[in-house]
């Protein structure tokens, strides 16, 4: 496994360009919540007991999976390193804060993450590039089946998999797709789409999940219902909804380009100007401008920088990534300078 320092300098493998849907779909993910039978659920206050139990789970899971990836106690990482993992969508905000009893397993290509002692004893997470909900589901279920050989999960014939929070009970499954929806936002159609989602028992959140802001028009659309539907049904209905949103975004892009091409060009070239010239860049400004460059690239307004560079900056321009990769980025003014510098360098490197 690469060190977190190495990770912080590269975008994850599952984030790789626009191979489908013109960059509208970034990634698909599945999360399964599981608890060990006969153990009390995780408490607000972490206890020595939970740490001991967590350590044993970690050891047994490593054995069952013949694990070669990273597997460590959260307190063996610095907080900023755990934040790097969060910025890469590998662990939750809650797990970053979970210092004493939490454990984290991440495989080499960052497509599987297993969080121990998050809100539930075990959270299995699988991530796949693009619109590949089925692929992520299959990997998560494979891991689940393997871990099942080490512990009996808390399961009830009527209620299904039992979880700490009743919103996760049943399948324990959350399926999510990360989308970039700048044209829907620009044409003011987005609010309508988001309202429609709740009627379908789906929800849209900012890219770091619950409570995070949808900066740069990146949204994670996911199911809310976890009970009364099979895993495949949840994946299917999410896929169906996402396909419609993608279609809607692509139509909005076309109509935006027909009616207001000059506006899009103006915003894209301004974004280019800011990112290639700025000497200080906040992370919000970076995401906002990267959003325009992505739209510019998808609509053919620009053909440079490439998708790989934009993905790289989207991930590695975040606060914790910069801090871990650059000693001078520890304080916020220094960080904005470092951010502007790596963005400038990345853009010059790819300019024709």
User: Parallel, antiparallel, or unpaired for β 173-180 and 25-34?
Assistant: antiparallel
> What's the gap between Cα 260 and its chain centre?
32
Q: Establish if 153 lies at the interface with another protein (CB under 8 A).
A: yes
Q: Establish if 39 lies at the interface with another protein (CB under 8 A).
A: yes
Using CB atoms within 10 A of its CB, is residue 182 exposed (0-12), middle (13-18) or buried (19+)?
A: buried
Q: Establish if 200 lies at the interface with another protein (CB under 8 A).
A: no
Torsion angle in degrees (nearest 10) through CA of 270, 274, 275, 278 = 170
Q: Establish if 252 lies at the interface with another protein (CB under 8 A).
A: no
Q: Establish if 22 lies at the interface with another protein (CB under 8 A).
A: no
* Interface pick for another protein out of 7, 122, 162, 340 (rule CB under 8 A): 162
Of 9 and 60, nearer to another protein (C-beta) is 60
Q: Is 203 helix (H, G, I), strand (E, B) or coil?
A: strand
* Interface pick for another protein out of 6, 247, 306, 345 (rule CB under 8 A): 247
Shortest CB 34 distance to another protein, Å: 9
Shortest CB 197 distance to another protein, Å: 16
- The answer to whether 238 and 177 have CB atoms below 8 angstroms apart is yes
Backbone angles phi, psi at 172, to 5 degrees: 65, 15
30 forms bridges with which residues in the sheet? 126, 175
* Interface pick for another protein out of 3, 5, 6, 40 (rule CB under 8 A): 40
Q: Establish if 45 lies at the interface with another protein (CB under 8 A).
A: no
- The answer to whether 348 and 304 have CB atoms below 8 angstroms apart is no
Q: Is 65 helix (H, G, I), strand (E, B) or coil?
A: helix
Q: Establish if 118 lies at the interface with another protein (CB under 8 A).
A: no
Which residue stretch of 90-98, 131-139, 182-190, 301-309 sits at the interface with another protein (rule: CB under 8 A)?
131-139
Q: Which residues bind another protein (CB under 8 A)?
A: 20, 35, 37-41, 43, 131, 133-135, 137-138, 141-142, 145, 148, 152-167, 169-171, 173, 225-232, 235-236, 239-240, 243, 247
């Amino acid at each position: 496994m690469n060190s977190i320092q190495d990770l912080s300098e590269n975008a994850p493998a599952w984030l790789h360009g626009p191979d489908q849907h013109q960059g509208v779909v970034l990634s698909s993910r599945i999360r399964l919540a599981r608890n060990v039978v006969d153990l009390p659920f995780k408490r607000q206050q972490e206890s020595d007991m939970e740490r001991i139990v967590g350590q044993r789970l970690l050891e047994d899971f490593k054995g069952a999976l013949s694990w070669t990836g990273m597997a460590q106690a959260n307190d063996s990482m610095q907080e900023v390193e755990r934040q790097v993992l969060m910025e890469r969508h590998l662990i939750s905000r809650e797990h970053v804060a979970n210092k004493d009893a939490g454990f984290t397993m991440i495989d080499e290509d960052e497509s599987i993450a297993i969080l121990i002692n998050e809100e539930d004893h075990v959270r299995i997470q699988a991530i796949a590039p693009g619109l590949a909900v089925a692929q992520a589901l299959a990997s998560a279920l494979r891991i689940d089946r393997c871990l099942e050989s080490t512990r009996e999960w808390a399961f009830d014939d009527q209620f299904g998999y039992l979880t700490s929070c009743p919103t996760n009970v049943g399948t324990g499954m959350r399926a999510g797709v990360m989308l970039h929806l700048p044209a829907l936002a620009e044409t003011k159609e987005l609010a309508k789409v988001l309202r429609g989602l709740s009627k379908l028992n789906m929800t849209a959140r900012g890219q770091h999940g619950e409570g995070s802001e949808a900066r740069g028009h990146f949204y994670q659309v996911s199911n809310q219902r976890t009970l009364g539907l099979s895993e495949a049904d949840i994946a299917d209905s999410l896929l169906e909804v996402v396909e419609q949103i993608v279609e809607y975004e692509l139509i909005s892009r076309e109509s935006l380009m027909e009616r207001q091409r000059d506006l899009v060009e103006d915003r894209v070239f301004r974004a280019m100007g800011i990112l290639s010239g700025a000497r200080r860049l906040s992370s919000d400004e970076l995401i906002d401008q990267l959003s325009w460059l992505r739209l510019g690239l998808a609509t053919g307004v620009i053909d440079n920088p490439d998708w790989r560079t934009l993905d790289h900056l989207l991930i590695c321009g975040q606060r914790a990534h910069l801090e871990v990769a650059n000693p001078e980025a520890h304080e916020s003014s220094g960080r904005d300078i470092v951010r502007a510098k790596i963005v400038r360098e990345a853009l010059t490197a790819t300019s024709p």
